[in-house]
Amino acid sequence: MIQIDNLAFSYGPKEVLKNISMEILPGNIYGLLGENGVGKTTLLTLLCGLKKVQSGSIRVDGRDPFDRQPSLLADQFYLADEVAPVHAKAIDFAREHGVFWPNFNLDAFSGILAEFEVDPSQKMDAMSAGQLKKTYISFALACRVRYYYLDEPTNGLDIPSKSQFRKALMKYTPEDASVVISTHQVRDLENVIDPIIILDRRDVLLNASTAQIAEKLYFDYSTQINPDALYLEQTPGGTVQVYPNATGEESKVNVEALFNAVHAHKDVVKAMFHTNL
């Protein structure tokens, strides 16, 4: 379990995160959403220990990730948005680096690469950007760790590869893993992320499961306009509307519409979900 309490971080005078508090629980794939510059990547690098908390605390199973304890490093994986084109065959890279993760499985790595249709004997610095990203995704998932921090993993992937990524993510991550995915491509991951965290500048606007969201908000796809809509978007078939769920009726959460509704009515949504940060 990850516990974040009153976290703050700045780049010089520029304050990025302020008084951030939340829990990240095992067995979930969290979607970390937010506009550019709100601190999503910063939060991921703090979680994995690449940066040091300036105020407040992060505890991963009671440990400070910045202490860089080998036992924690061996049980986490941070995948950056931009990945390095190493001068080595993919299979050799996996053999050489997989030893740092006790649960790494070379057969799984080869199997995921095959699903992505990437040749493991190809040198990584000769790959296209998409092939390289798929190689790193395959390696990350083959490590079988408990904590995954994935920064924009679908950037650079074509449409079939995005589908393959979703399937591999569900198939190869351990059941007790905590996965945090920062993304702008919400439609790529809408069917796999749950719970959803929405960051604002120096704040958390929402941290809730889709069940909790559907209990509080109703997502309407009809043509009849609701005057209480927090967000409304015209579509070719009618509208997508988000408004308070006064009747308790179930609806399918539209993550993109949710994001826009939250940003349009920040205080309303925070009060609705009792976010007190």
Mean pLDDT of each 10-residue bin along the chain, 277 residues long: 95 90 96 92 97 96 96 97 96 98 97 96 97 98 98 95 96 97 91 94 88 96 90 87 94 95 92 68
Specify whether the CB–CB gap between 168 and 143 falls below 8 A: no
Using the structure block, give the residue that is written with the tokens 């997508």: 240
Specify whether the CB–CB gap between 104 and 151 falls below 8 A: no
- Distance (Å, whole) CA 191 – CA 210: 10
Query: What's 63's DSSP letter?
Result: B
Assign domain 2-83+140-205 one CATH number from 3.60.15.10, 3.40.640.10, 3.40.50.300, 2.170.270.10: 3.40.50.300
Domain residue spans of the chain: 2-83+140-205, 209-272
At residue 222, the pLDDT reads 87
| DSSP-assigned beta bridge partners for residue 200 | 203
CA distances in angstroms from 12 to 9, 54, 144, listed in the order given: 9, 11, 36
Query: Which residue, among 45, 48, 40, has the nearest Cα to 73 in the 3D structure?
Result: 48
Phi, psi angle pair for 24, to nearest 5°: -120, 115
At residue 275, the pLDDT reads 52
